[in-house]
Structure 1
Amino acid sequence: MADITEFAGDSFCDIVREHAQNQGDVIAFTYAQEETSFAALDEGANRVANGLVALGVKPGERVAFLGKNHPLYFEALLGAARIGAVMTPVNWRLAPPEVAYILDNSQARVVFVGEGFAAMIAEVRASVPHVAEIIGIDAPEHAGTDYRQWRDSFPATPPAHKIKPEDDALQLYTSGTTGKPKGAVMTHGSILSSRDAMASGDEMRTWQEPIPGDVTLLAMPCFHISGTGTGIGTMVAGTNSIVLPEYDPAKALDLIANYNISKIFLVPAAIQILLNHPRVSETDFSRLKYVTYGASPIPLELMREAMRVLGCGFVQMYGMTETSGTIVALDPEDHVPEGSPRMRSVGKPLAGVEIKIIDEAGNPVPAGAVGEIATRSSKNMRGYWNNPDATAATIDAEGWLRTGDAGYLDEDGYLYIHDRVKDMIISGGENVYPAEVENALYAHPKVADVAVIGVPDAKWGEAVKACVVVQPGEELTEADLIAHARQHIAGYKCPKSVDFIPALPRNPSGKILRRELRAPYWAGRDRAVN
């Protein structure tokens, strides 16, 4: 297999086409008992591209995917990209009003719906009249267009559209600071920037090197950059992804044993769930080379157990949707069972990535001083979809992107996460903004005031807690309020607990002092994130 830096082209579509020509029989995706070769993937993507053109989809328009992980999602993503359209995967764990908002905001012309979500799309269809076609991917309960029949009715001729690096390729929605999600737009160039950095002579780290015969377990959801990024990464590398519809530790153990899995990306909560499974001691992990993990820090004791049981290299990754994934990584050699100061860091920047720590005014601070983490590289998103104000508040004129995380750099360039500048909560690898939850809770007629915070949680890292002031003369229970929230927002965003308090602490301008609410729960910890 050729080195990935040798491939020509300005997009992952071009690279997949080259793999189809040079190693067409190599398997790109495995799903249950179905295998998809690179040749079949390339042909299917061409048919999808021609099908989308027939539906009137134009360059720059969005198409959406609502469903669990499936190889046909990547085929549809490729097909859309080949005509200049942009794939928008929708978090299937969201409540119907949230799904409707994303479909409306993206103005998706076509929605691919996976098995189990026909009822969801039917419920929101009336509120998204711009959706011209709904296509079911292995969704027998969907009575409309079937994906495979639709796809195969179009020719496999490659579309003539020429992709440029600056073209939009992928739109992922992030939790919103003001209560509404924002569509982060990644380009073909930002997605392939790591490959381009390597091609320009920057050093590739050992764990980044593609090895013929590598088999990756794709277990994280494709509505996150971790899932879609993993699939695109293996397509670019020309290796096989074993796709799980959703994370299941028992199935993951089966696949590790039966398919000689060599690489996996997991969030720390998923690692813990895997290690707690009763069959973990019976599984052969000898083929496993690397477990990459991210989204939240990992406790040292959990890391020790994972290193002992899995016996492979571990790589901590730090990044965000807005940076097209990983920008900083802690290498395997920095993971030591006895622990070290560096294990509290998230590592050093990847090739081509700049990191600086800034104060509130945007001025750099010296090594060891805590400030907001800012980054600049070709990995940064183009911006937020149709939201120039949010884009300008995040990326400055010189290309520096404010991450919203507070941290510091040591003298050797290792990055340490200290806190969050924004109020975001990370629970089980999912981002939750208090504003989204508070908007849902405020809708309850008995709620007078509310603030949502993240508190430490042994399993999920952080848990959502609501601090609520009840309307005078009213009574409200924790169970009633949580049940109300579930009607409006995804279950993982709902409070796990509620504190009823007489008043919220506020500063003279009326801003809620969340740090005062959080302080008792984080007392005695060396950082205010878990």
Structure 2
Amino acid sequence: MTTTPTDDFVDPRGDLRWGTTSTLLTEAANRLGDTEAIVDGDVRITYAELETAVTEAAAAFLAAGLERGDRVAVWSPNTARWIVAALGLQRAGGVLVPLNTRFQGNEAAYILDKSQARILCVIDEFLGRDYPASLEEAIGGAGEGRPYAALPGLEKVVVLFGQAGRHTSWDDFVASGSSVTEETVRVRAAEISPDDLSDMLFTSGTTGNPKGAMCTHAQTLRAYAVWAAVVGLREGDRYLVVNPFFHGFGYKAGWLASLIVGATILPERTLDVPHVLKVVREERVTVLPGTPTLYQTMLEHPDFSSDGVSGLRLAVTGAANVPPSILERIKEELGFSHIVTGYGLTESCAIVSMCRYDDPPEIITSTAGRPLPGLEVVTVDAKGLPTPTGVEGEILVRGYTVMKGYFGDEEETAATVDSDGWLHTGDIGVIDENGRIRITDRIKDMFIVGGFNAYPAEIEKILDSHPSVAQSAVIGVPDERMGEVGAAFVVARRGATLDADELIAWARRNMANYKVPRRVHVVDALPVNAAGKVLKNDLRARPGA
């Protein structure tokens, strides 16, 4: 098995320093006081004001009868109130269950039921959708005495913004907490153990029903204190969080990591590139993480110019390897001095490995960095036997980030985390002699062309190096002769044109024949979810794919 090299910095051990997110916030408020904690449009909240708001929210949750370990769902785009609600319920001993803003009512209902959430905090309308109405419609309307009869565990619906109707408005909810003293809140917060659950993030459900990965305060605080040190996030940074809060990238590597170091959080509701560029300029943003898709979209947008982005210094992107050509454009045109990539999954606190902020470009473009200090990462073959250094295999992870299990799914948990504590990620990768990880693909995305394993991520990286290609996505499609072949969906760079036959001919010159897509579809844009990841199931469903 590969041995992970020791990191050259001291592990901050946030779990030992703070224990819970509640204590983290109190310490930050005492230390930073009038420093801006959150800037959300016209709303500006200092660290001291955030501490007060969270205590008031915690009192409201206690007044509503929330007990330690009860689940509370939040269904809303990125806002300051999302953060206040999350920290408030955690201070009261609750477990955060974020809901994807792209969910339809039936998808939200499934997770509310599965998690047995007692309270739902929801926005009334977002992007033209009435969220409470969509939930009500999906489950057949309201019942007597409860917000939703088909969800017997759901006792209260709190509307964060907009018209509350027959539900409870956020202001009224907070006001209801006036019957609970600050001392009562402090006592409850002190009762919470670092080993208590802090959150339950549900997997995407692309290969089955969504499952809730349970994570504790200690796991999260340790992981993201280390993460912040590894990537170089620091006090005084102004962090524009484009990644959605319902995802670990926006929540844990976003606003929570900002509180850990003392940065200012700027929530962004949508992937609105002109607005992102405006906020970057006006708010002197220094940190802008996102997927490669986000950066590519920014660079290709007609309104893009390099004016006003001179303050940007740190970019953090996801597991998808960034092609050298894209990295060069990001550094030169967006002005970042540090760009790092990483790899994680919901079942490991959303983090496994990261490049370091001072890693050279060739490391950043070809790997997902080294495991976080204290984690063990190995690769194994189809029989579960360790693969040698540099040889492909399924990635297994063991250590403090591995979830406590799937909520209410012992069988699924046992199939994912074995008896020795190894999390079977379902991802294919290679670990080099320095302990760095290179992701080749998800097992489920791999397709076999005439007996050869083809990995879309590898093919996409090559296609993205074409001078006229802005973005690409590759899927496997059935083929009578070869079993499966690749189909590519490509987006042209601004001002460029792409011919499918010419791109196939170019691909034949730049990759092994079995990797060459047999079909190329030139499209205006790729379908992505709210986290910026390409929806390959949508591509597979397209006629003629």
Q: TM-score, normalised by structure 2?
A: 0.74
Determine whether 1:369 maps to 2:396: no
| Structure 1 gaps, min length 5 | 428-433, 435-450, 461-490, 502-520, 522-530
- In the comparison of the two structures, how many residue pairs are matched? 441
267 and 219 in structure 1: CA distance in 2 versus 1, 3 angstrom threshold: same
Determine whether 1:118 maps to 2:147: no
User: How many Å apart are 1:422 and its aligned residue?
Assistant: 3.5
Q: Secondary structure at the match of 1:15?
A: helix
- Partners of 2:279 and 2:329 in 1: how far apart? 21
Equivalent residue, structure 2, for 1:184: 213
- Partners of 1:129 and 1:95 in 2: how far apart? 20
1:359 to 358, 372, 381: 381
Deviations 1:372-412 (A, max 9, x none): 11111211211111111111111122222111101111122
User: How many Å apart are 1:331 and its aligned residue?
Assistant: 3.3
- Partners of 2:332 and 2:538 in 1: how far apart? 35
The residue identity in structure 1 corresponding to 2:172 is: Q
- Partners of 1:496 and 1:371 in 2: how far apart? 27
* Within-5 A mapping of 1:289-438: 289-312=313-336, 313-336=338-361, 340=362, 343-423=365-445
- Partners of 1:137 and 1:30 in 2: how far apart? 17
Determine whether 1:227 maps to 2:236: no
Contact 1:4 1:195 (8 Å CA) reproduced = no
Equivalent residue, structure 1, for 2:3: none
Contact 1:314 1:335 (8 Å CA) reproduced = no
29 and 296 in structure 1: CA distance in 2 versus 1, 3 angstrom threshold: same
Contact 1:423 1:453 (8 Å CA) reproduced = no
2:45 to 4, 27, 36: 36
The residue identity in structure 1 corresponding to 2:132 is: A
Determine whether 1:244 maps to 2:253: no
423 and 128 in structure 1: CA distance in 2 versus 1, 3 angstrom threshold: farther
- Partners of 1:173 and 1:232 in 2: how far apart? 18
The residue identity in structure 1 corresponding to 2:538 is: P
User: How many Å apart are 1:231 and its aligned residue?
Assistant: 0.9
Contact 1:27 1:36 (8 Å CA) reproduced = yes
Equivalent residue, structure 2, for 1:22: 31
- Partners of 1:453 and 1:63 in 2: how far apart? 45
| Structure 2 gaps, min length 5 | 1-10, 126-130, 139-147, 447-455, 461-474, 476-482, 493-533
The residue identity in structure 2 corresponding to 1:99 is: A
Contact 1:44 1:151 (8 Å CA) reproduced = no
Q: Secondary structure at the match of 1:266?
A: coil
342 and 307 in structure 1: CA distance in 2 versus 1, 3 angstrom threshold: closer
User: How many Å apart are 1:458 and its aligned residue?
Assistant: 3.5
Equivalent residue, structure 2, for 1:448: none
User: How many Å apart are 1:347 and its aligned residue?
Assistant: 1.5
The residue identity in structure 1 corresponding to 2:348 is: T
Contact 1:113 1:139 (8 Å CA) reproduced = no
The residue identity in structure 1 corresponding to 2:222 is: S
- Partners of 2:387 and 2:427 in 1: how far apart? 15
Deviates more, 1:140-149 or 1:89-98: 140-149
Contact 2:90 2:96 (8 Å CA) reproduced = yes
The residue identity in structure 2 corresponding to 1:400 is: W
1:214 to 210, 218, 237: 237
- Partners of 2:352 and 2:36 in 1: how far apart? 28
Contact 2:106 2:135 (8 Å CA) reproduced = no
2:490 to 440, 454, 458: 458
Equivalent residue, structure 2, for 1:81: 90
Deviations 1:230-258 (A, max 9, x none): 11111122221011112211111011101
Contact 2:238 2:265 (8 Å CA) reproduced = yes
Equivalent residue, structure 1, for 2:113: 104
- Partners of 1:295 and 1:409 in 2: how far apart? 14
* Within-5 A mapping of 1:138-153: 138-140=161-163, 142-153=165-176
Contact 1:189 1:379 (8 Å CA) reproduced = no
- Partners of 1:243 and 1:174 in 2: how far apart? 23
User: How many Å apart are 1:176 and its aligned residue?
Assistant: 3.0
235 and 500 in structure 1: CA distance in 2 versus 1, 3 angstrom threshold: closer
Q: Secondary structure at the match of 2:386?
A: coil
Deviations 1:500-520 (A, max 9, x none): 79xxxxxxxxxxxxxxxxxxx
User: How many Å apart are 1:105 and its aligned residue?
Assistant: 0.4
- Partners of 1:317 and 1:243 in 2: how far apart? 21
The residue identity in structure 1 corresponding to 2:24 is: I
User: How many Å apart are 1:279 and its aligned residue?
Assistant: 2.9
- Partners of 1:145 and 1:406 in 2: how far apart? 47
Contact 1:215 1:239 (8 Å CA) reproduced = yes
User: How many Å apart are 1:98 and its aligned residue?
Assistant: 1.1
